Chains A and B, each alone.
Chain A
Amino acid sequence: MKVKELVLNQYSGRVYKNRKDHIIEVEEGIDPVQPITANTRALPGIMTNRGCCYAGCKGVVLGPVKDVLTITHGPIGCGFYSWGTRRNKANVESGENFIQYCFSTDMQESDIVFGGEKKLRQAIDEAMSMFSPKGIFICSTCPVGLIGDDIHAVAAEAEEKYGITCVAFSCEGYKGVSQSGGHHIANNGLMRRVIGTGDKEINSKFKVNLLGEYNIGGDGWETERILKRIGYDVVSIFTGDGSFEDISNAHKADLNLVMCHRSINYIAEMMHTKYGTDWLKVNFIGIESTVQTLRDIAKFFDDPELYARTEEVIADELASIEEERAYYRTKLSGKTAALYVGGSRAHHYQSLLADFGVSTVLAGYEFAHRDDYEGRQVLDGLKEDADSKNIESITVEADPEKYRVFLTKERYEKLKNEIPLESYNGMIRDMKTGSYVVDDLNHFETEEFVRLLEPDIFFSGVKDKYVVQKAGVLSKQLHSYDYSGPYSGFNGSIIFARDLVMGLYTPAWNYVTPPWKNQSTLQAALAAGGEM
């Protein structure tokens, strides 16, 4: 029996029906790729790894903006649990930095009964008097939407009173089916209220924004290093180590580089419509993919010097890691991996693994949509269900003053065929025949697939890390990198390979079977007359 059936057959009829379309075995030569069901509700009780809307909005997109003070409006738990847990690093040497802080209105029973607006208002007053930030974000949690606190009105009042930017995000946990809804809400707020408000003069050439890079373990820093070395001006990063001012000036860039397609494609699309900024799907995870990405970006700007500089930097960076790359490849080649992470990472990391000869037997996203699996080609045919309708989708129009086009129409049409401009082909196309794609992999399936597919490494998060380790399989967290990183770019790839080698070859695995359980050792010992 096929692996897929072996797993699914253990489910009840109802669960089977729900789950079967979330799992596909990649077949050869099917185009368009096989459809997969994604971005639908997780089954209650199934032990999904998904988070909530608030987690996507506050935890992922807004949290890393270091100089805006983000207040969680709600009871204490949500603020506490999203406090410094994503390892989105920020440079603390310069300017204001609230990354180390957790601000919560800590609602009590009486606030639920009588409403929490007053408390929020006072919390803002206190935040202003204590920290005097240039901007405040307010993120609401489940009860806020239910009791009807008008956080947007409070935000407007605060703007009036203090002359700052104060943006409210109605990202109650129950909205949508995963953290994905929260990304969208955060995107909308940033687009409406922050992007385009800056008026900094930027006169450099080759201006880019890095979208969907949250600087986990310093990834964004490595990427930025390479871009700057070539001569790009990184106007803003959404949102790792990001700052309010940078983001407000994002519309000054010529090109948006999209890393995490899932969490930030809304802004990329809206900026394209409103400011004419083109976006390019990039991948700085993996050596070959970084090289490809750098060449794609150079093509966009089409500047002879830039082409030369790009090749020069690529050659130099490759040379500097060549020795280690070759060594680690000998240690890793032939291993297999399963990945279950994010809305883009499970795709990105496959190319990094391939650099070292590791093949992927299973990959899945936690909160992705069909376009992340099958490519944006499917977008037109997607029907909105009740849950996606609950997440506001805003439309923007071209800004009469700030709209500008970088490419000529001819150049655009030509480039469209050469580089992933305003397009993303999804993960499945890059996967081998016979490998598995699983959406919203749950705890039960994790165990089953690990047992059946026997990958050497399982990439996921801390919630399933220990299950996998108990099964004797190396587990590597791709949410927080197990306190390591960066893994992006050229230097990151070596750190990543070293971490894998360290994990695969650690002496602990050798002791999993104790000597007294090992027949041959025992006999040998007895034969040798040794003491047991």
Chain B
Amino acid sequence: MSKNLVNLNVNPCKMCMPMGSVSAFYGIKKCMTILHGSQGCATYIRRHMATHYNEPVDIASSSLTEEGTVFGGEKNLIKGLETLIKLYEPEVIGVSTTCLAETIGEDLKRMIKDFNETHPDYKGKIIHVSTAGYAGTQYEGFFQALRAIVEQVEMKPEKHDGINVITGMISPADTRFLKSVFDSMRLDVVLLPDLSENLDGVHQPVYNRLPQHGTSVEDISKMAGARYTIELSTFIENEKSPGYYLEKTYGVPLIRLNLPVGLRDTDAFLEALTKTGAKVPKALIQSRGRYLDAMVDSHKYNAEGRAAIFGEPDFVYSMTQLCIENGLMSTVAATGAKCSALEDKIKTGIAEVGQFMFNDHFVIAQDTDFDHIEQFVADTKANVMIGSSDGRRIEEKMGVPLVRCAFPIHDHIGGQRVRMLGYEGSIDLLDRVTNTLLTLKESSYRETLYDKYYDETRKAPELKLVVGGKMSIEEKTKKHPCFNGCGTGYARIHLPIAPACNIQCNYCVRKYDCPNESRPGVTTQTLSPEEAYKKYVYVKEKMPNLTVVGIAGPGDALANYEKTRETLQLIHAYDPDVTFCISTNGLMLPQYANELVELGVSHVTVTLNAVDPRIGKDIYQYIDYMGTRYTGEIGASILLANQLAGIKMLTEKGLIVKVNTVVLKGINDAHIGAVVEKAKELGCEITNLMQMIPVKGSVFENMPLTSNKEIMEIRKQNSAILKQMYHCKQCRADAVGTLDNDESFSLEAESEAWKTQVTTIDVLSEKVSDTPVKPALPLFAVASKGGILVDQHFGHASDFYIYEYEGGTVRFKERRSVSKYCDGSESCDGNGGGKNVKMDQILEAVQDCVCVVAMRIGEAPKRKLMEKGVKVMMTYGRIEEVVDEAARAFRSERAI
């Protein structure tokens, strides 16, 4: 996700630097802070902190006015300091700048120096820090203040036995935990900062307006002589790191650690403390054991989690690590700060969990906002969110529960008491997450189960057809599986009546179907218009939810215009309510656009790979137009001009136009945005950005693959411009059924039936093309997610891709959908009858194959397959290569 594309931050996942700075100063003993700028900054920040901590928060302001912006703010700052000193008698004053002070260029260092000289009576320490609101988030502001503190407090470099521990913004309760660890290990520690009491005070009869607790200047001055520093942040840059400064200036060795969250990082923290020679107390060892016990207790529930984590980098890292450690897939890890290091540090861990959870869909984002996070939550189907209360809007909108555990928490109380550090803190937080998942499960368990297995009416609620009457385009769009956004419920039939094509794409091999609209590497038997009509009537009777007739090749619908027209006319006479949908490369579109409208076509897909002929010339080898073959940029220009003019004609007539674009690495992948923009400008409804699947023998045979993830990224980026199609299955040119359930294969077997049974119209004199009788070829069933790689567990595959092998050639035959018999959830832990029934189904689906190729397969199904004489191969790789390899391996055993 590149933030540079976005100029509007919609629902920010970050605050400004001064917020962090004043929070840090709250951990200093007898310290008051003054913000140099407009008084609104102090007011807003106090309001936010008070609501989170449920404590008084006093931050002064130099209350700059318009006059100050002209003449400088020094006068106001001096007055502010004087008043603050008189009323509060602080021993330390933190002066933080704001956008205003930084923009007018206030020289704080000089002003404070002058102030000290003109106010010799004041014995306290004034620390200034530059925190423009535009220079970073509260995360950087916090460390910037700590850095200023160690730089400006006079240090005493005499060596001593103590150590320094520096933290980012952690809760007062967690700070108290750290202090209790130091106490129990009898360690002499300077903890910077120490928010434990000042932002979570006790109720007492006399309230002291000056914070009485926190790290004292005296303690801070000893930091230069410590044995070493532990800094609990691994993301903050050197120039903002107080520990780094102490190391460079005073030679205090720096150990940078992650926050002690979870087993691994708490262990590391304790180990770092034992470098002093101290022993880890028994109580902590006990709680480690208890955490381990808790991990085991709750792993079953955690495994169902898909967490969306957002917040400051250290928090996101540690929370993600806690999830990873507990087998909980973190599908979204997002920070509003700019932090490119985050992805590298957590990617592998999440991917590893994903590997055994069979979920490779996760997002790591920096410099992002909640508008994006919401999208990520939806895309990755996250079922729990972990972070600040700012996620509550997503919780409300999408029903994904939110565990509030990071600053700020505004709609719940107890922000100051949230625990996450140490073994016990980890258990606390983990339990909250686990219980949220359990609550979610319990509240939806029966409904989910019922919907999934028992409620037939819910499965296909839209089966009823509107009989008679004229459906509007909107209604037709709703019933079109490619356009209604979810692909479910309604069925379509692709009638392969258009064999010829008038252009040559570099990713296409002529002997196969057009890769723009159908499965690459597939050869479809073409039909005559009459056959197509018969097939339609036959299927329609068997499949009442059939609402869409598509002409998708195998060549180009308009290069075979006569056949297309005849087919549509025949079907329209039989079923006036059917939705006609055609796909084309657009070359002949201007010529036929008006006629298509008259034929009742409501949906058209145009494959538009480039809107610049200089790019187009690398995609198209040639075009055949009006009897002449054009190549290079000229050919691409003609094609483009016709595509654009044609689309415009259609959208002006109110037709729904979808643009298909094949993403070609190194050719048009940087140009996709322009194509989508153009599509939008032309009034198209949606774009379908597709993977280029290399076909052996094509010019682009060796082009690198665009991964699923990359294509999703590209779609997401472009979704800001125009609606994207996320559910394209790249169907065959003779596909029948719903998108999820292609029944073309079973229909093939019944071809005789529809060819002979349907006799409602006179068959014209043209001869029905006979299906040549071919010897059965050996079939290979491949478990694959997208039809490119063998990358699915046998039990997790919802589809099997069936490949034929003939004399050294591997050819895709069809996709078979099977009900998953192991869906990774509650139904999968027993040996109930249901499971066996489903397993039988799956076995049936592949039993005519000689071999099943899957990434992994369980012992029981493997045995059953072997019993049925089906070989099993476990591997990972490109389908064609793997099948080829499998075929060779089994050649000796079977006659292939």
Contact = CB atoms under 8 A, between A and B. Distances in A.
B11 interface: yes
A444 B68 contact: no
A82 interface: yes
A109 B132 contact: yes
5 contacts: A52-B43, A77-B44, A105-B7, A122-B8, A172-B38
A111 B61 CA distance: 25
A126 B7 contact: yes
A131 B12 CA distance: 17
B479 to A, nearest CB: 26
B564 interface: no
A252 interface: no
Given A129-B721, A174-B68, A463-B47, A47 B7 contact: no
Given A100-B393, A130-B10, 19 more contacts: A11-B86, A12-B86, A15-B86, A41-B65, A45-B82, A48-B39, A53-B38, A76-B9, A76-B133, A79-B12, A106-B8, A106-B9, A112-B132, A386-B67, A387-B67, A447-B209, A463-B46, A472-B205, A512-B205
A141 B99 contact: yes
Interface in A31-65: 41-55
A126 B6 contact: yes
A45 B80 contact: yes
Contact of A50 (B39, B81, B83): B39
Q: What band does the interface of chain A fall in when counting residues whose beta carbon is under 8 Å from B?
A: 35 or more
A107 interface: yes
Contacts of B11: 83, 101-102
A30 interface: no
B40 A48 contact: no
Nearest to A54: B40
A443 interface: yes
Given A47-B58, A101-B10, A123-B7, A80 B16 contact: yes
Contacts of B68: 174
B214 to A, nearest CB: 17
Closest A-B pairs by Cβ, 6 of them: A52-B40, A77-B16, A45-B80, A44-B80, A173-B38, A45-B83
Interface stretch (B48-56, B168-176, B262-270): B48-56
Q: What band does the interface of chain B fall in when counting residues whose beta carbon is under 8 Å from A?
A: 35 or more
B454 interface: no
A463 B40 contact: no
B80 A105 contact: no
Given A55-B40, A466-B50, A48 B57 contact: no
Interface string A156-172: 00000000000000001
A470 B207 CA distance: 6
Contact of B44 (A82, A104, A143, A390): A82
A80 B63 contact: no
Given A51-B40, A173-B41, A465 B137 contact: no
B415 to A, nearest CB: 13
B44 A51 contact: yes
Contact of A81 (B47, B66, B103): B47
Contacts of A51: 39-40, 43-44
Interface in A136-158: 141-143, 145-147
B730 to A, nearest CB: 28
Contacts of B79: 43-45
B77 interface: yes
B607 interface: no
B716 interface: no
B29 interface: no
B187 interface: no
Contacts of A120: 7
Interface of B: 6-12, 14-16, 18-19, 34, 37-41, 43-48, 50-51, 54-69, 76-77, 79-84, 86-87, 98-100, 103-104, 132-135, 137, 201, 203-205, 207, 209, 393, 410, 720-721
B145 to A, nearest CB: 15
A471 B10 CA distance: 40
A165 B787 CA distance: 50
Nearest to A483: B411
B57 A463 contact: yes
A44 B63 contact: yes
Contacts of B38: 52-53, 142, 172-174
Interface in A260-294: none
Contacts of A111: 134
Given A53-B40, A101-B11, A143 B87 contact: no
B6 A15 contact: no
A482 to B, nearest CB: 11
A47 B60 contact: yes
B8 A103 contact: yes
B44 A55 contact: yes
B76 to A, nearest CB: 5
Contacts of B15: 76-77, 80-81
B83 A43 contact: yes
Contacts of B18: 77
A470 B211 CA distance: 13
A77 B133 contact: yes
A278 to B, nearest CB: 35
Nearest to A104: B9
Given A12-B86, A81-B45, A75 B67 contact: no
A467 B77 CA distance: 25
A127 interface: yes
A46 B60 contact: yes
A210 B86 CA distance: 45
Contact of B50 (A126, A444, A463): A463
Interface string A96-120: 0000111111111101100000011
B87 A174 contact: no
A85 interface: yes
Contact of B58 (A74, A142, A443): A443
Given A45-B62, A101-B11, A470 B203 contact: yes
A127 B8 CA distance: 7
A474 interface: no
A208 to B, nearest CB: 33
Contacts of A74: 99, 133
